[in-house]
Amino acid sequence: MPLPAAPPFPDMPPLADLHLAAGRQGAPYQNRDDLLFVSFRHSVSAAALFTRSSLAAWPVRLSRRHLKESGGRARALLVNAGNANALSGAKGRESAERIARACADKADCPLNEIFLASTGRIGKALDAEPVLKALEAFPKDAPSLSWERAARAIMTTDRFPKGAFRQTFIKDAPARLCGIAKGAGMIAPDMATTLAFLFTDAALSASIAGRLLLEAAEESFNALSVDGDSSTNDTLMLFATGEGRSAAMSDLTDFRQSLREILDSLARQIARDGEGATKMMIVRVSGAKSAVSARRVARAVAESLLVKAALYGGDPNWGRVAAAMGKTGEPLREESLRIRIGGAALFDGEPLAISDAAAAALRRHMEGDEIRIEAHLGTGEAEAVFRGCDLTPDYLRINSGGD
């Protein structure tokens, strides 16, 4: 039983000075774009968070270098779907470099203002030729595509395109924030990677953009796990196209909130589209000794195979939740521990009896597609939230299919 129908793509207005083009470079998808080219009319501020994998893909290694060399300036971003260009040896590096040079020619800018992102199969060098051809074929004066079309061009086995928009303010000046993402965790047969790209027409320095991105990601993308496997290609970028003096941190309260909301929305869409997932789970841990400890405990629950399997079976199995928390070795005491699922109190220093009415409500909650697990550790004041999804026969079907 898959999740209800895909959510509708949100209304998202165009952004000034930003151009979206899409094309096909030959990934084995039927009749759809697999290449996105985002270009800016002028050099803009850029910030990025890349995968922490020690085997990062060539586009990540190249983009990381460019970000450093350019001091956070960007003129174009190219994303291809279908091939991650990861673990692809010298040939993969060569492809990435050739493609980046072609993008710099197209955008007429320094090489280090080009950023690349790839998603798809690991272990095969990306063939540069079809990418270069598609890039060349983009008509110079075509109108910018819609955000939905852009979001579709970066999908691999995603069931739906993912986007989010917020109208916000910096002091009294309006600012727009647009985001697109692809996700679905690790995807069949090797389609790895979470990619997300955020764009604003605000004026932000690269260093402020970097601080905002890190802060917002901690509470959303870095608190999300479909299957615990982070990829060789994960990339999250923020581009700020506004010219003139950067807004100061002190003026960015609303903006930061909107950025958090956008990332939160994208993270939820990704969790909802987790491979074969039928249910999301939101794990809230409070009363912990520290935020790090709360996060470790919440993450252990969200990633526990046994909790994921229980969720799939609609079983409010608090014993597995507790076992997953315990295995972290974090400071916990049975005597002060409280666990609720779907609002129903199930453990409070000891197993609780549950009324018929509460049991019926809990059953209904477990039949839903968003399961809330709350634990209060009673050892401190810190808290954290982590999101996950259930583990289903479909996940296995998708991921055991071989090549």
Q: Which residues are catalytic?
A: 193
User: Which one of residues 118, 312, 342, 389 is an interface residue with its own copies (CB under 8 A)?
Assistant: 312
Using the rule CB under 8 A, give the single segment among 5-13, 69-77, 98-106, 322-330 that binds its own copies. 322-330
Q: Which is nearer to its own copies, 46 or 346 (CB)?
A: 346
- Contact status, residue 185 vs residue 227, Cβ threshold 8 Å: yes
β-partners of residue 199 are: 178, 239
Pick 53 or 205: Cβ nearer its own copies: 53
Helices 89-107 & 128-137, crossing angle to 10 degrees? Answer: 10
Among 108, 141, 172, 350, binds its own copies (CB under 8 A): 350
Could you say whether residue 2 binds its own copies (CB under 8 A)? no
Query: Given candidates 257, 349, 355, 368, which one binds its own copies under the rule CB under 8 A?
Result: 349
Q: Is there a contact between 78 and 114 (Cβ–Cβ < 8 Å)?
A: yes
Terminal Cα distance for the chain, rounded: 25
Task: Name the residue nearer to its own copies (CB basis): 145 or 325.
Answer: 325
Residues 6+ apart with CB under 8 A from 358: 344
Tokens (6 digits) for 131: 């990418």
User: According to CB under 8 A, which residues from 281 to 300 bind its own copies?
Assistant: none
Q: What is the CA radius of gyration of the chain?
A: 22
- Does 28 contact its own copies by CB under 8 A? no
Q: Which of 143, 151, 80 is nearest to 116 (CA)?
A: 80
DSSP per-residue codes, 27-68: -S-SS---EEEEEEEEEEEEEEEE---TT--HHHHHHHHHHH
Q: Determine if 315 is a binding residue for its own copies (CB under 8 A).
A: yes
**Residue 49: φ, ψ to 5°:** -120, 125
Q: Does 322 bind its own copies (CB under 8 A)?
A: yes
Q: Rounded to whole angstroms, how far apart are CA atoms 108 and 378? A: 59
Verify binding: residue 56, its own copies, rule CB under 8 A: yes
Residues 228 and 235: their CA atoms lie apart, in Å, by 16
**Structural contact between residues 273 and 184, judged by C-beta atoms closer than 8 angstroms:** yes
* CA 178 to chain CA mean position, Å: 14
Q: x-or-dash pattern for its own copies, window 84-113, by CB under 8 A?
A: --xxxxxxx---------------------
Kindly state whether residue 399 participates in binding its own copies, applying the rule CB under 8 A: yes
* Closer residue to its own copies (CB): 37 or 318: 318
Closer residue to its own copies, CB minimum distance, 92 or 163: 92
Nearer to its own copies, 260 or 320 (CB): 320
Distance CA 294, CA 304 (A): 16
Residue 21 sits at φ, ψ, to 5 deg, of: -130, 150
Q: CB nearer to its own copies: give 52 or 140.
A: 52
Distances (CA, A) of 78 to 205, 256, 355: 22, 26, 57
| # binding residues, its own copies (CB under 8 A) | 70
**Which residue stretch of 27-35, 173-181, 198-206, 345-353 sits at the interface with its own copies (rule: CB under 8 A)?**
345-353
Q: Is 55 in the site for its own copies (CB under 8 A)?
A: yes
Q: Is residue 199 classed as helix, strand or coil in its secondary structure?
A: strand
344 sits near its own copies (criterion: CB under 8 A): no
Residue whose CB is less far from its own copies, 9 or 395: 395
Question: Other CB atoms closer than 10 Å to residue 57's CB: what's the count?
Answer: 33
Q: How far is the CB of 312 from its own copies (least distance, A)?
A: 5
Is 36 one of the binding residues for its own copies (CB under 8 A)?
no
Strands 338-341 and 370-376, sheet pairing: antiparallel
Q: Is 330 in the site for its own copies (CB under 8 A)?
A: yes
| Interface pattern 121-150 for its own copies (x via CB under 8 A) | xxxxx-------------------------
**Which listed residue (68, 351, 359, 360) binds its own copies by CB under 8 A?**
351
CB of 393 to its own copies, least distance (A): 5
In angstroms, give the least distance from the CB of 26 to its own copies.
Answer: 19
- Residues of this chain that bind its own copies (CB under 8 A): 51-56, 86-92, 121-125, 186, 189-190, 192, 227-232, 303-306, 309-310, 312-315, 317-320, 322-334, 337, 347, 349-351, 391-393, 395-396, 399-403
